[in-house]
A = this chain, B = another copy of it.
Amino acid sequence: MKLDEAKNKYIQTWGSLATSWGINKTMAQVHALLLVSTKPLSAEDIMDALQISRGNVNMNVRALIDWGIVRKEFVVGERKEFFVADKDIWELFKQITKERKKREIEPVLKVLEDLQKVDDDSDEAKDFKKVLGDLSKVTTTVNTILDKAIKADEHWLLSNFTKMVKK
Contacts and interface: CB of A to CB of B under 8 A. Distances in A.
Interface of A: 1-3, 6-7, 9-10, 13, 17, 19-22, 35-36, 38, 87-90, 93, 103-104, 108, 111-112, 114-115, 117-120, 122, 124-125, 127-128, 130-132, 134-135, 137-138, 141, 144-145, 148, 157-158, 160-162, 164-165, 167
Q: How many copies does the complex hold?
A: 2
Given A21-B21, A108-B17, A2 B120 contact: yes
Given A128-B3, A164-B164, A135 B89 contact: yes
B157 A118 contact: no
A150 to B, nearest CB: 12
Interface majority SS on A: helix, strand, loop or mixed? helix
12 contacts: A1-B114, A13-B108, A20-B22, A21-B22, A87-B130, A87-B131, A89-B134, A141-B162, A144-B161, A148-B164, A148-B165, A160-B167
